[in-house]
Amino acid sequence: MTLTRDDVIDVLTACSSVDLRKVGKSDVDSWCSTLRGDLDRNLALEAVRIHYATSPDRIMPAHVNNLALQIRKDRAEREPAVDRELRQLQHDVKHGLVRGDAQLGGLPIGGADGKPVPGAYAVNNAIEHVCPLCGADEYQSCTNKISGVERKMPCLPRLMIEAEPNLKYAK
- DSSP letters spanning 139-152: TS--B-TTT--BBS
Q: How far is CA 100 from the centre of its chain?
A: 17
The pLDDT tens digits for 74-109 are: 988 888 777 777 777 777 767 766 554 444 444 445
pTM of the model: 0.54
User: How far is 68 from 141, CA to CA, in rounded Å?
Assistant: 39
The pLDDT tens digits for 122-160 are: 888 889 999 988 889 999 999 887 778 888 888 888 888
| DSSP type of residue 117 | -
